[in-house]
Structures are given as C-alpha cells and as structure tokens.
Amino acid sequence: MKYDKFFALAKEAGIQEAELYISQKYEVSISLFHGEIDNNSVNNGYTIIARGSYKGKFGTATCDVWNAEKAAFLVKEIVANAKVIENEDPVFIFKGSEKYTKINNFNKDLALIPLDDKIKKLHELEGALRAYDKRIVEVQAVEYSENANSITLINTHGLKLVHKSNYYVYVGVVAAKEGNQVKSAYDLLLNNDFSKADVKTLATEIGKKAIDQLGGEACESSTYKAVLSSDVVSSLVKFYIGHASSEEVQKKSSLFMGKINEKVASSKVTIEEKPLARTVFARWFDDEGVATKNKFIVKNGVLQGYLYNLTTAHKDGVTSTGNGYLGGGKMDVDFGFLVMKPGKKSLDELFAEIGNGVYITEVSGLHSGMNPQSGNFSLQSTGFLIKDGKKDRGLDLITVSGNIVDLFKDIQAVGSDVRVFPSEVSCSSVIVKKIIVSGK
C-alpha cells in the first residue's frame, strides 16, 4: 500500500513529524465438535495507528481501511487530538537505533502444509482425548488456528522497519465427570514448526489434568507451604514484572519504586526479558522503532533496572530499553518474552522438599482477583494436597491469597520443569514458604 499521501497531507497540515504503525493480521481457524467441522474462519485485517507531533504535542488516530479519505481523516484527527494535550512530556518520532539485531523467525513452510493435514491432526487430538479415560464425558472443543502477522513502522525520518511472525495453536477442552462432580480442563500447544505438533502428548496432558481434578474437595482454611505449578507462576510473573515499568515508577504507583539494586525477590529468582530469543515471540524493535535487547530485570533476587520507552527514558535521563509498546493508542511501557531461570529439582523433589502442604496447579479470575497496584491477590484455585512429600488428593473450590512481591520474596526453590506459555513466559514450578488458602 502507498502511504505517501498521508505524509504529504500531514506536512501540509503543519504536523512536523509523523509515523504510521501498520499491523496486518491473517488468521485461519477450524474447530471440530463430535468429529465434524463446526466453525471455520478466515480473517484478514489491518489496523493503522498514526501518530504525529503538532506544535510540540502528540496526536494519535487509528483506522483499519486505507484510502485517500482515511489518510485525510487521520491527519485531521491527529491535529485535533494534539491541540487538547496538556501533558508537558516531550514527544519523539524516532530516527532509528544505530544497530538492530534482526531476527527472522517467520516460517514460510507453515502456510504450505495442506490444510487437510492440519485438520487430520485435529481429528487425532479429538480421538485421543475421547480415548484417554471413560470419565472424559465430553470433548467440548478442539481447535486449530494459524496466524501470520506483520508490523510495519514508517516515519518522516525515513525509518522503515518490518517484522513478520507466524505461529499455529492446537487447543483442546474436555469435561470429565464422576458421580455428580464435573471438572473441565484445557491446554494448548503453540509453535511455528509443524513437525512439532505433537497432539497425542497434548491430549494426554489435557486428559490427565481433567481426571486428576475428580474427587477433589476443599481443604481447611489455613496458611500452607506450597508448590506453585509453572502455569500459576506464568500467570503471576507478568503482574510482578509490571512493577518494573518506569512509567509506573515515575507516576508513583509501582511497588519497585526506589528499589534498584535492592532485593525484590528471593535470591533463587532470576528473570530476563529475551525479545531476541529465537522463539515465535521474537521482536527486534519495539513499537517506537527502538532496537530491543535481552536484559536481566531481576537477578538473584535483586532488581537490575526499570523498563523504558523514549519518553520515560528522557525524563530519567537514560536511554530507552526498547520497551515502548502501543496500548489503546498510547505508547505504554511493556515487555516481551520473559524467561525465569530454572532450578535443578524435579517437581517430585519439590514435593519431597516441602513434605506437607498444597500444590496449586491453576489460578483463575486474575482480572478481578488481582489488584495490579497493591499486588494483593485472592484467586480461585485448583490443586492437590501434598502429604508426606507426595502429591495427594485433589483440592476443589479453594482460593489462594497473598501479595505478589511477598510471594516472590518467599520463593524457596525453583524447579527444573520448564514450560513455555503462549503468554510469552518461560518458567518452572516453585516452592513458596507460605500461602493463605481459603477452603472449608
């Protein structure tokens, strides 16, 4: 598509510097129910976010159809929006980093594999889930989806950056029943290498998750030693690292305020942001065009530094860390692929280490049960009792409560059972010294 018209109109309107962020998304998805295709979608869409500086203030506007009329619309809206900005923060349209480490992790072969082969695996997944255990009473859904995304950044300084990525996902959801108790479970696998689409292992994991929950009941309300599964850690770590945002620190709402080079976690905890790792999550420039880099955020429990975009970096007199990402038309501070350093003990060894306690396998309701500012949480959970160093009966209808920073300070051991989650986190199970459980 031609974007010259937009830049010409912007210049005429008195917009000194301007930029277009163009996100293109192509998605195919297919789901089965009882062996038949019940949903199939093919989507192809754009989102165009235009930013420009007008009299020293930033205006932003978006659209998803590109033509001369929309180019004029974006220019008009940028000017109108910039005129009402009162914030004194400097505005930046970036000229480009000195050096970029380009990562090309787009797998061209994925789209060439016939759709029928992908659907065949979907049938295999459904069949394997049904065959897993007779207590699996329903395979609620199995779905294959494939995404190819591109991000293009073009600005008036002549910067033009393009990043492409693709991946596929297989998902399965089942219900298991025993007596009057029904439990559901889901899991997914995400990759862009189709040879790694091991749906049989996925089916086993989902089936086991569902069956293991049957027969569970609440435990006594108390404070327990706990093993948190990698799944639970992956849910919590993003809220925790969110406090490393320089914007939150500058606005005085971060729990990491004034904590650089101080202990914010147990010495067992090391967390890196690795946007340049060769994964489907790789990003070699952020949404401002700044080169991204791998970096430690917490090392042996000590906070290494804050995450910056161009504006927050300018305020603190430092350089951007490549963490400027658009959210709702605003350039937020955010992060990509997080990697928590694994330990050496297996999950069974973690159980043995705590002797008696609880093993929390899943938490839900994070959007309502987690206060991102205070870090206090109270979350619906499932899991197991740990008795005499071994996994015991299931736990049903319990909540776990605590504070996110206290929890990371209480990590006593990190396991070796690393899993990579679609939420862009690689982590393993951990032991925490205490967690409050509400049950009976």
Partner 1 sequence: MISKKLAIDVLNESLSTGADYAEIFFEDSTYYTTSLENGKVETSTSGSACGVGLRLLKENQCVYGYTNDLSKKGLLDLASSLNKSFHSERLITVTKLDMIRGKNRNPVTNSYDCISREEKIALLKEGIAEIEKDKDPRIVRYLSYFINNHRFVAVFNSKGKWFKRDSEFGRLVFNVIAADQNGFETAFEGPGCQQDISYFKSKVDVVELARKTVETALKMLTAKECPSGKMPVVIGNGWGGVLFHEACGHALEASSVAKGLSCFSGKVGEMIASPLVTALDDSTIPQAWGSIDIDDEGNFGEKRVLIKNGKLMDYMIDDFNGRRMGRSGNGACRRQNYRYCPTSRMSNTYIANGKSTPEEIIAATKLGIYTVGFNGGSVDPSTGEFNFGCSEAYIIRDGKICEPVKGATLIGHGDEILKKIDMVGNDLALGQGMCGASSGSIRTNVGQPTIRISEVTVGGRGGELK
Query: Contact, 61 vs 45, CB < 8 A?
Result: no
Instruction: Give the CA distances from residue 295 to residues 237, 305, 340, 418, in Å, rounded to whole numbers and listed in that order.
Output: 16, 9, 12, 19
Residues forming a β-bridge with 169: 145, 190
CB of 328 to partner 1, least distance (A): 7
**Contacts for 260 with CB less than 8 Å, ≥ 6 apart:** 303, 304, 305, 306
CB of 14 to partner 1, least distance (A): 17
- Asked if 116 interacts with partner 1 (CB under 8 A), we say no
Of 8, 14, 38, 109, the one binding partner 1 by CB under 8 A = 38
- Please identify, using beta-carbon distances, which residue of 101 and 403 lies nearer to partner 1: 403
**Contacts for 379 with CB less than 8 Å, ≥ 6 apart:** 363, 364, 365, 366, 369, 370, 399, 400, 401
327 sits in the region (left: phi over 0; alpha: psi -120 to 50; else beta) called beta
CB of 120 to partner 1, least distance (A): 16
Of 43, 104, 201, 267, the one binding partner 1 by CB under 8 A = 43
Of 53, 60, 246, 309, the one binding partner 1 by CB under 8 A = 60
Which is nearest to 413 in space by CA: 341, 339, 338, 337? 341
Name the one range near partner 1 by CB under 8 A: 60-68, 271-279, 295-303, 347-355: 60-68
Of 40, 104, 201, 423, the one binding partner 1 by CB under 8 A = 40
- Asked if 65 interacts with partner 1 (CB under 8 A), we say yes
User: Kind and range of the H or E element at 5?
Assistant: helix 4-12
CB of 98 to partner 1, least distance (A): 30
CB of 276 to partner 1, least distance (A): 30
Name the one range near partner 1 by CB under 8 A: 264-272, 314-322, 378-386, 414-422: 378-386
- Asked if 378 interacts with partner 1 (CB under 8 A), we say yes
Query: Contact, 273 vs 295, CB < 8 A?
Result: yes
> What is the CA angle 317-404-437, rounded to 5?
175
Can you read off the two tokens belonging to residue 403?
């504070």
Please state the three-class secondary structure of 56-86 as a single string.
Answer: CEEEEEEECCCCHHHHHHHHHHHHHHHHHCC
Name the one range near partner 1 by CB under 8 A: 97-105, 153-161, 293-301, 325-333: 325-333
- Asked if 55 interacts with partner 1 (CB under 8 A), we say no
* The dihedral formed by the CA atoms of 296, 299, 305 and 306, expressed in degrees to the nearest 10: 70
- Asked if 152 interacts with partner 1 (CB under 8 A), we say no
Site size toward partner 1 (CB under 8 A) is 71
CB of 104 to partner 1, least distance (A): 27
- Asked if 133 interacts with partner 1 (CB under 8 A), we say no
First to last CA, the chain: 61
- Asked if 140 interacts with partner 1 (CB under 8 A), we say yes
Residues forming a β-bridge with 162: 152
CB of 348 to partner 1, least distance (A): 28
Name the one range near partner 1 by CB under 8 A: 8-16, 41-49, 106-114, 421-429: 41-49
- Residues 239-268, interacting with partner 1 (CB under 8 A): 251-253, 255
- Residues 68-87, interacting with partner 1 (CB under 8 A): 70, 73, 77, 80-87
- Asked if 423 interacts with partner 1 (CB under 8 A), we say no
- Asked if 399 interacts with partner 1 (CB under 8 A), we say yes
